[in-house]
Amino acid sequence: MEKIAVIGAGMVGRAWAIVFARAGREVALYDTDAQALENALVLIAGAANDLHREGLVDEDAQAIVGRITATTSLASALKGAAYAQENAPESLDIKRALFSAMDAVAPPETVFGSSTSGIRASQFSDHLKGRARCLVAHPVNPPSVVPLVELAPAPWTDPAAVEKVRALMEAVGQQPITVLKEIDGFILNRLQGALLNEAMRLIADGYVTTEDLDKTVKHGLGLRWSFMGPMETIDLNAPDGVPDYATRYGPIYHQVAQEADARPWDDKLFGQAAKDRRATLPMERHVERQQWRDRRLMALARHKKEVAERLGD
């Protein structure tokens, strides 16, 4: 099986290590911090146990962790790797330096993908000799449970590199999409950002409480969106499909769009939401709630898998 290098042992890097290792790949997990690597293997084992308990992986945690080798040597991590998934902090300077180091020591056939949430591939690869092998491969956190991956190449990225990563992601159980041309925020975060901007405005301007705003999504929009997208949603919500929906509701959405104003995220805009969240969830329970989130996502993934086998996807 091909070797995969996971660069960075933080939250997202750990989840990527699980994605590749559970699919039978040998994984080299790299970080400059030896203690972070040691902690990562413990956390990976715990997450793999949760996945096994939910029936999302057949193997036990020991088998999955057994395919992961931790190293503080970048050259060692990249040696013989078919693909490298970078997970450094969301800083352009850090990513440019790291990709330079990777480009200097990796075999020429190794393709590089970045987990960045919003930095364009052209911004961190323009200076590289091997820039044609670089692209964004942006996951949803945690990728070990949420399968979407956005593949966003730079203008100079070799199409064969994109296809190689897309085939790899499909082979390891992810759901890749391709961003056809560069755009800030890619696809997922532009959609999420539009919802968040309006949510913050509605809360800050006193139209709805934070709790009721969240209920609107998790008990309303989110139920449908968990198994079909917004375009299929509107297609099925009108007797004659998308054109019929546009005729019926287009003027309303146009009016709402004129009223919506995207504002800078300052204390005035999100202060009330932050205050409400801390009243509901004290910071000392934050990690506990993150673990709860991941277990709920695992249960949802298991449910979707079972239902898709019975009713179709």
Report if residue 291 sits inside a domain: no
Q: Is the pLDDT of residue 187 over 90?
A: yes
pLDDT of residue 99: 98
Report if residue 257 sits inside a domain: yes
134 and 215 share one domain: no
225 and 91 share one domain: no
* Mean pLDDT along residues 288-296: 90
Report if residue 167 sits inside a domain: yes
234 and 100 share one domain: no
pLDDT of residue 128: 98
> What digits encode the pLDDT tens for the residues 84-108?
999 999 999 999 999 999 999 999 9
| Longest CA pairwise span in the chain (Å) | 60
Report if residue 219 sits inside a domain: yes
pLDDT of residue 291: 87
Report the distance separating Cα 17 and Cα 64, nearest Å.
Answer: 9
Report the distance separating Cα 307 and Cα 56, nearest Å.
Answer: 14
Q: If we measure between CA atoms, which residue out of 81, 79, 61, 58 comes closest to residue 4?
A: 81
> What digits encode the pLDDT tens for the residues 218-272?
999 999 999 999 999 999 999 999 998 999 999 998 898 888 777 888 887 778 8
Domain extent for 236: 188-280
Per-state percent for the chain, helix, strand, coil, to nearest 5: 55, 15, 30
The domain spanning residue 252 has which CATH number? 1.10.1040.10
pLDDT of residue 115: 98
Number of compact structural domains in the chain: 2
**Strand, coil or helix: what is 307?**
helix
Q: To the nearest whole number, what is the mean pLDDT of the chain?
A: 94
Q: Is the pLDDT of residue 1 over 70?
A: no
Give the model's confidence band at 193: pLDDT under 50 very low, under 70 low, under 90 confident, else very high: very high
Report if residue 213 sits inside a domain: yes
pLDDT of residue 210: 95
Q: Percentage of residues in the chain with pLDDT exceeding 90?
A: 82
63 and 147 share one domain: yes
Gyration radius from the chain CA atoms: 21
> What digits encode the pLDDT tens for the residues 26-37?
999 999 999 999
129 and 240 share one domain: no
What residue has token string 């934070």? 210
pLDDT of residue 62: 95
238 and 218 share one domain: yes
142 and 202 share one domain: no
Q: Is the pLDDT of residue 274 over 90?
A: no
The domain spanning residue 103 has which CATH number? 3.40.50.720
24 and 71 share one domain: yes
69 and 107 share one domain: yes
Give the model's confidence band at 308: pLDDT under 50 very low, under 70 low, under 90 confident, else very high: confident
pLDDT of residue 14: 97
96 and 244 share one domain: no
Dig out the tokens for 262 from the structure. Answer: 């995207």
Report if residue 307 sits inside a domain: no
SS3 of 146-191: CCEEEEEECCCCCHHHHHHHHHHHHHCCCEEEECCCCCCCCCHHHH
Confidence (pTM)? 0.91
